[in-house]
Amino acid sequence: MNKVILISIGAAISFGFAAINYAASGSLRAVQLGELTLVCVMKDEARVIDPKLVVDFVDGVWVFKAGSAKNCSVKPSK
């Protein structure tokens, strides 16, 4: 019985991580395609990031060709 519970918990955790990763990859693709606008606060100034410079989104950190930022928000493009 304990093995069944542990396997169920493991499967649920794996599914949760997969769902989060899928959602993050959707946002990444939408930003890279220009469907969403990525705005990051850098040195007390909000900057709109060029979609061509966005490389990845890992553990809440947006990765660019020349750096990264964590304090970002995604907004609909105009």
Whether the pTM exceeds 0.75: the reply is no
Residue 57 near residue 28, CB atoms below 8 Å: yes
pLDDT of residue 69: 94
Domain ranges, ordered by start, for the chain = 2-76
pLDDT of residue 15: 45
Distance CA 68, CA 48 (A): 13
